[in-house]
């Protein structure tokens, strides 16, 4: 799915192209990183074809966050889940972590989700032991909620939501 770029302070949220997906694959060097990012059903080792299939690139709104110099800084997806815009597969470039890019990605995706999906609320899952991501989501306005009964991994993940501004 292609979406027009969303630009904020010279940072752009754009639909990824094939080169972006190739770069993204290099951000995930091992089975653990793939599981933490893509979930337990994401295949590893992956091929370009299985990666695209497991990401559901052609079915889910997928975005790259580009810095003002054009470099890809982060990636994330948005889809409808239980009348919310659900954020998924959020990742920051490994060499750019700890610089606030995750928070920028989340804020931009929340804005895009409201525009594109029309929901008043966003949701996401985060592994309980992923402290940097958990802190990022808290500082982005997400709050812990009761875990959905139909969602897997309730002993491993938190479920968080926030209203769309």
pLDDT of residue 114: 79
pLDDT of residue 105: 97
23, 36 contact by CB (below 8 A): no
Q: What is the mean pLDDT of residues 115-133?
A: 94
> What are 93's two structure tokens?
């470039």
Number of C-beta neighbours around residue 119 at 10 A: 19
Q: Using the predicted structure, report yes or no on whether residue 147 has a pLDDT greater than 70.
A: yes
Average pLDDT, the chain: 94
Who has greater pLDDT, 56 or 3?
56
**Distance separating alpha carbons of residues 38 and 84, to the nearest angstrom:** 20
**Distance separating alpha carbons of residues 85 and 119, to the nearest angstrom:** 6
pLDDT of residue 1: 61
Domains annotated for the chain, with CATH where assigned, are 6-123 (3.40.630.30)
Distances (CA, A) of 29 to 42, 59, 126: 14, 24, 20
pLDDT band at residue 28 using 50, 70 and 90 as cut-offs: very high
HSE-CB of 38 using CA atoms within 13 angstroms: 25
Q: What is the mean pLDDT of residues 72-84?
A: 95
Distances (CA, A) of 133 to 60, 92, 130: 22, 10, 6
Number of C-beta neighbours around residue 102 at 10 A: 25
pLDDT of residue 9: 81
Cis peptide before 45, with omega less than 30 degrees from 0? Answer: yes
Q: What is the mean pLDDT of residues 20-42?
A: 96
Q: Using the predicted structure, report yes or no on whether residue 164 has a pLDDT greater than 70.
A: yes
């Amino acid at each position: 799915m292609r979406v027009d770029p969303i630009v904020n302070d010279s940072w752009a949220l754009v639909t990824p192209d094939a080169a972006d997906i190739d770069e993204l694959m290099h951000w995930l060097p091992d089975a653990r990183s793939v599981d933490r990012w893509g979930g337990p059903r994401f295949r590893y080792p992956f091929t370009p074809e299985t990666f695209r299939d497991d990401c559901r690139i052609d079915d889910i709104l997928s975005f790259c966050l580009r810095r003002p110099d054009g470099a890809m800084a982060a990636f994330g997806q948005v889809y409808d889940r239980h009348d919310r815009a659900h954020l998924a597969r959020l990742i920051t470039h490994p060499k750019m972590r700890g610089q606030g890019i995750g928070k920028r990605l989340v804020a931009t995706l929340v804005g895009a989700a409201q525009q594109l999906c029309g929901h008043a609320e966003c949701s996401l899952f985060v592994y309980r032991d992923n402290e940097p991501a958990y802190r990022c989501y808290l500082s982005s306005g997400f709050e812990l909620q009761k875990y959905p009964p139909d969602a897997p991994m309730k002993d491993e993940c938190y479920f968080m939501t926030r209203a769309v501004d």
